[in-house]
Structure 1
Amino acid sequence: MSQLSLIARARKDFHKRLLASILQIDDSGVPGNADRSSASSCNIASGIAQKLLAENGVRTVAQTSGNKFEEVVALFISNTFPNLSNLRPGTWDVRQIKSRGGSEISKYSQYEHLAALTEAAKGNLELSAALGNDYTITPDVVITRQPETDAVINSIGHIVDSEVALRSDLRDRSLGRPPLLHASISTKWTLRSDRAQNARSEALNLIRNRKGRQPHIVVVTGEPTPSRLASLALGTGDIDCVYHFALHELIETVSELSDSPGTKISDSDDLLRIMVEGKRLKDISDLPLDLAV
């Protein structure tokens, strides 16, 4: 048997951590990512859980589930993306953002100007009302890249000097330039209509308020229901792509249920195919390589 690749091992570890925490089946047979009021959600979630060998456990509350999912996603990316230095060289940092104060985004090069807006709005109610909260963006997980010193840039030849490339965000001439936001990752253990719209609103704010290169803007979710996935995945322009925590198992489960008499998910198979073939829904294992683009 051939040895598993790095990403294949990381995917297995990713699922193990979820199975040990939030992806468990409660006493009534409902997995932790299912909507117990929806039969199709429970059926699909159960199929995925069984394929991932879920054990019985205590169903966690939504907030705890969300925080744990962020943590496990951040760890998966930390264990994969930095290993792609042959494809995407740089000094990288992957972090789960635990603070929800709204000022996190201004720590990064493309958004540092937002700190001045926040400060100005504090003492001016009129300005605060006019600005609203369009500039208040707090990603769940971020990937940042440190700017490079001249020594690194010139390590293979005389690339820059004191006369050129003085304003590039990648060049850290003063040894104090803030990191560049490479990716903003929104994690949604489950999707309801309001959660889908929150992800879209945050993505649009990241696009509109940046100065410089747009970061990757993606969503990672454990939502089992194709119709709810479609509410976020279909369409283009705001989110790069939606990544499912177990897309292979989801496709297999939906296919099996579609062939079973008495199940009401006949449209789910086609809907999944549209999202996957349209490059709007991918597996978590696709994310590290996509981040290297």
Structure 2
Amino acid sequence: MPSIADVSNRPSREIATSVVAKIGKTKSYAEKPAGQTAGSMFETACQNFIDDCFKQLLHLRPGAFEVAKGQAIAQFDQYAHLEELRILSDKNKELRTLLGSDYLIKPDVVVLRHPEPDASINRNRLLVDDTVARKTALREANGVKPTLHASVSCKLTIRSDRVQNTRSEALNLVRNRKGRLPHIVAVTAEPAPSRIASIAMGTGDMDCVYNFALPELVETLREQERETLELVETMIDGQRLRDIADLPLDLVI
């Protein structure tokens, strides 16, 4: 049984089995990895995929980009003020109670852009010096932190009790930023269309949701004559759901 299937849900089992068969060669384990272990493995797979692809697309989006795991958003230029809030709240119990800790987000995978040295900016002609552009996050000389280019939430599977975590993290990224909003996306291997829809449907929370095998999923739903095919097609036509192959190119924009 594929690890992405909900063993207590027959449609999930049937869809997952067909999708995995269409993918082709897969890796089997003597024992199914624990939930957190499997989730971490999926995050690493997503990180490696984005990193490998981004390196091939630098001619479309030049810059000192890095793809990483486990980095809190306060480490980035748009959210550096959140670290100051944390320090103040640690010293003040009333302030800590008022603010809570929901804003202290650590995305599964991030794409960050390091600031550029002036020599790189001035490569073709003199554009910046000590008298201009003293606040931009692109200049290394301004002593700024890296810019958060993209936040990627990685969900091997989707369960109803965890859906709101993804949405709340996205909304916190939107509300708490100072400066440019990063790409906010989710990647999942969930086979059940209704569960994918719980994250993908609607507007404003995130840019888009990406499925790890969307063509195989659509083909499976069509072959099995599932009513949920219409739901998936609605999400695709509404630009709420795309295949993982679209993600690196979308992040270049």
Distance 1:200 1:40 in 2: 26
Distance 2:127 2:82 in 1: 32
Are 2:115 and 1:147 aligned?
A: yes
**CA deviation map 1:172-207 (0-9, x unaligned):** 214x32111101111000001122211100000011
**CA deviation map 1:104-145 (0-9, x unaligned):** 211111111111111111122211110012311010001110
Amino acid at match of 2:9: S
Q: Cα RMSD over matched residues?
A: 1.3
Are 2:239 and 1:279 aligned?
A: yes
Distance 2:35 2:149 in 1: 28
Amino acid at match of 2:230: D
Give 3-state SS (helix, strand or coil) of 2:242's partner: strand
Q: Is contact 2:74–2:104 with CA below 8 Å preserved after alignment? A: no
Counterpart in the other structure of 2:194: 227
* Aligned match for 1:83, one of 40, 48, 56: 56
* Aligned match for 2:207, one of 196, 217, 240: 240
Counterpart in the other structure of 1:15: none
Q: Is contact 1:188–1:195 with CA below 8 Å preserved after alignment? A: no
Amino acid at match of 2:45: V
Give 3-state SS (helix, strand or coil) of 1:148's partner: coil
Dislocated runs of 4+, deviation >6 Å: none
Distance 1:56 1:182 in 2: 35
Are 2:154 and 1:187 aligned?
A: yes
Equivalent residues in 2 for 1:114-125 (5 A)?
A: 114-125=82-93
Amino acid at match of 2:79: Y
Amino acid at match of 1:137: I
Counterpart in the other structure of 1:51: 22
Distance 2:127 2:49 in 1: 35
Counterpart in the other structure of 2:33: 60
Distance 1:95 1:235 in 2: 28
Shift of residue 162, structure 1, vs aligned partner: 2.4
Distance 2:81 2:202 in 1: 30
Shift of residue 146, structure 1, vs aligned partner: 0.7
Are 2:13 and 1:42 aligned?
A: yes
Give 3-state SS (helix, strand or coil) of 1:79's partner: helix
Amino acid at match of 2:198: S
Amino acid at match of 2:87: E
**CA deviation map 1:15-58 (0-9, x unaligned):** xxxxxxxxxxxxxxx21001111111111001111112346543
Shift of residue 59, structure 1, vs aligned partner: 2.1
* Aligned match for 1:73, one of 46, 49, 58: 46
Alpha-carbon spacing, 1:150–1:72, altered in 2? closer, same or farther (3 Å): same
Distance 2:162 2:248 in 1: 24
Distance 2:247 2:156 in 1: 16
Q: Which runs of 5+ in 1 are unaligned?
A: 1-29, 259-264
Give 3-state SS (helix, strand or coil) of 1:243's partner: strand
Distance 1:133 1:178 in 2: 22
Alpha-carbon spacing, 1:144–1:56, altered in 2? closer, same or farther (3 Å): closer
Which segment is superposed worse, 132-141 or 226-235? 132-141
Distance 1:157 1:270 in 2: 54
Q: Is contact 2:157–2:190 with CA below 8 Å preserved after alignment? A: yes
Alpha-carbon spacing, 1:55–1:162, altered in 2? closer, same or farther (3 Å): closer
Are 2:238 and 1:289 aligned?
A: no
Task: Provide TM-score, normalisation by structure 2.
Answer: 0.95
How many residues of Structure 1 are paired with residues of Structure 2 in the alignment?
251
* Percent identical: 49
Amino acid at match of 1:232: I
Q: Is contact 1:31–1:59 with CA below 8 Å preserved after alignment? A: no
Give 3-state SS (helix, strand or coil) of 1:173's partner: helix
Amino acid at match of 1:47: S
Distance 2:244 2:28 in 1: 24
Are 2:135 and 1:167 aligned?
A: yes
Task: Provide TM-score, normalisation by structure 1.
Answer: 0.83
Distance 1:55 1:75 in 2: 17
Shift of residue 283, structure 1, vs aligned partner: 0.6
